[in-house]
Structure 1
Amino acid sequence: MNTPLRLEVIVASVRPERFAPVVADWFLRVVRARPEFDTDVIDLIDTPLPTDLTDTLEARAFRERLAAADAFVAITSEYNHGYPASLKTAFDTAKHEWRAKPIGFVSYGGLSGGLRAVEQLRQVVAEIHMVSIRETVSIHQAKRQFDATGTPTDGAAIDASERLLRQLHWWAEHLRTARAADPYPG
Structure 2
Amino acid sequence: MDITPLRVAVIIGSAREGRFGPTVAAWVAAEIGRRRDLEAETVDVAEMGSGTVTKQLGLADAFVVVTPEYNHSFPAPLKATIDDHNAEWVAKPVAFVSYGGLSGGLRAVEHLRPVFAELHAVTVRDTVSFHGGRRCFDAQGRPTDAESVVAAERMLDRLAWWAHALRDARAVRPYAR
Q: What TM-score bracket applies, with the shorter chain setting the length?
A: over 0.9
Q: Deviations over 1:25-76 (max 9, x none)?
A: 211111111111121111112232xxxxxxxxx3x54333322211000000
> Is 1:74 matched with 2:69?
no
What is aligned with 1:53? Answer: none
Partner amino acid, structure 1, of 2:100? G
Residue 170 of structure 1: which of 154, 158, 161 is its match? 161
So what's the TM-score if we normalise by structure 1?
0.91
Count of residues in Structure 1 that have an aligned counterpart in Structure 2: 176
Moved more, 146-155 or 129-138: 146-155
- Aligned twin of 2:48: 47
Separation in 1 of the partners of 2:24 and 2:89?
A: 24
2:17 corresponds to: 16
Are residues 1:152 and 2:153 paired?
Answer: no
Q: 1:102 aligns with which of 87, 93, 106?
A: 93
Backbone CA RMSD of aligned residues = 1.2
CA distance in 2, matches of 1:124, 1:144: 29
Report percent identity of matched pairs: 49
What is residue 28 of structure 1 aligned with on the other side?
Answer: 29
Residues of 1 paired with 2:44 and 2:52: CA distance? 14
On the 8 A contact 2:95/2:126 being kept in 1, the answer is: yes
Per mean C-alpha deviation after superposition, the further-off stretch among 31-40 and 98-107 is 31-40
Q: Which residue is equivalent to 2:126?
A: 135
Distance 1:76 1:126, change over 3 A: same
